[in-house]
């Protein structure tokens, strides 16, 4: 199918666009499409994971690095490209193979970070313990895991928000090792600002220890219709593709392939189709959904094909 032109949508008639008035009853919306759950929630859910080469390569890079014993691994990506989903998939994949700990919000002082890690390792830390005391407890637990042949991995999401002093605390933890391997391996997942943070002079020692790094890319435009159908099927849809080729193309262009934006706009487009009483999302629904709210990536001139 040839790529549809944007010209017909350069000045859409107001009467031709369904008005966005907010979500209808969730139960009716799901019932209309025969779904058991919302297909385009922005909550990272491993059940909805959609593999494309870039995502598979990123996950494989992290797994290979951890299995080879590297101390630090870095994953960067723009907002909404799936870093948290990758972290959850990684933890799921490593379950049973390694002891894992997860920090969803690293904007913590050094002692708070140590307390969080201790809890993740199922350690009981008295409230009165100082940071050095907690560090000693963690070190003892890591040694015990190493003696039992277990590797310990710490995944830190939104790592660009980690204070410098806390990063230094993590670096000191990474110094712990036996004669053969590190006692604690770390995966730093963050927005591109993480690179700027690690480039600061206080972080140069930590940055030098990152042996593997990967970057999450947006969904390829050619894969977006498959992505939409995959999520619909996981949610319970059993019919032909709901999103027309034109609607999928417009969503790809409006979102630039960023999964979070795709999900937001696709969700609205589905509800507009529901409001029309149809089971097919056309370009009219996709256009109206993309225009609603107009987040930064969805400026109307860009949708209309203006140069960017």
Whole-prediction pTM = 0.82
Buried b (16+ CB within 10 A) or exposed e, 237-257: beeebbbbebbbbbbbbbbbb
SS3 state at 147: helix
Query: Helices 245-255 and 259-276 meet at what angle, rounded to 10?
Result: 140
Mean pLDDT calculated for residue range 9-23: 39
The percentage of the chain sitting over the pLDDT mark of 70, rounded to a whole number, equals 86
Band of residue 26 on the pLDDT scale cut at 50, 70, 90: low
| Residue 177: predicted pLDDT | 82
| Residue 305: predicted pLDDT | 39
Does 158 score more than 70 pLDDT? yes
Does 98 score more than 60 pLDDT? yes
pLDDT digits (tens, 9 = 90+) for 32-72: 999 999 999 999 999 999 988 888 899 999 999 999 988 89
Does 197 score more than 80 pLDDT? yes
| Residue 123: predicted pLDDT | 95
Structure tokens that stand for 154 in this block: 């710490």
| Residue 194: predicted pLDDT | 96
Buried b (16+ CB within 10 A) or exposed e, 92-109: ebbeeebbbbbbeebebe
pLDDT digits (tens, 9 = 90+) for 112-143: 999 999 999 999 988 899 999 999 999 999 99
The chain-wide mean pLDDT, for the chain, equals 86
Q: Hey, which bits of 61-147 come out as E strands?
A: 72-76, 99-103
Set out the domains of the chain in order of their start, with CATH numbers: 53-215 (3.40.50.300), 219-303 (1.10.8)
| Residue 27: predicted pLDDT | 72
The rounded distance, in Å, linking the Cα atoms of 103 and 84 is 11
Does 294 score more than 70 pLDDT? no
Does 13 score more than 70 pLDDT? no
The rounded distance, in Å, linking the Cα atoms of 150 and 272 is 51
Q: Hey, which bits of 104-237 come out as E strands?
A: 152-156, 185-190, 210-215
């Amino acid at each position: 199918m040839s790529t549809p032109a944007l010209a017909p949508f350069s000045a859409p008639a107001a009467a031709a666009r369904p008005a966005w008035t907010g979500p209808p009853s969730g139960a009716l919306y799901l019932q209309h499409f025969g779904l058991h759950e919302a297909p385009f929630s922005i909550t990272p859910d491993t059940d909805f994971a959609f593999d494309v080469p870039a995502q598979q390569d990123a996950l494989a890079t992290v797994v290979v690095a951890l299995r080879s014993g590297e101390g630090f691994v870095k994953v960067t990506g723009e907002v909404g490209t799936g870093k948290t989903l990758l972290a959850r998939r990684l933890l799921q994949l490593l379950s049973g193979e390694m002891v894992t700990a997860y920090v969803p919000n690293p904007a913590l002082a050094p002692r708070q970070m140590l307390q969080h890690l201790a809890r993740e390792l199922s350690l009981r830390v008295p409230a009165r313990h100082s940071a050095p005391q907690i560090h000693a407890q963690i070190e003892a637990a890591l040694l015990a895991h190493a003696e039992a042949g277990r590797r310990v991995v710490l995944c830190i999401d939104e790592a660009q928000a980690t204070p410098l002093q806390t990063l230094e605390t993590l670096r000191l933890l990474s110094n712990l090792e036996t004669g053969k391997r590190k006692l604690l391996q770390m995966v730093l997942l963050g927005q591109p600002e993480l690179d700027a943070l690690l480039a600061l002079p206080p972080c140069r020692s930590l940055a030098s220890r990152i042996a593997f790094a990967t970057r999450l890319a947006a969904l390829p435009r050619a894969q977006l219709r498959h992505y939409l159908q995959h999520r619909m099927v996981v949610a319970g849809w059993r019919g032909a593709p709901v999103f027309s080729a034109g609607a999928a193309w417009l969503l790809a262009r409006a979102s630039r392939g960023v999964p979070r934006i795709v999900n937001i706009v696709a969700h609205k487009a589905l509800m507009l189709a529901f409001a029309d009483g149809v089971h097919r999302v056309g370009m009219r629904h996709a256009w109206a959904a993309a225009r609603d709210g107009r987040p930064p990536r969805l400026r109307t001139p860009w949708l209309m094909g203006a140069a960017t």
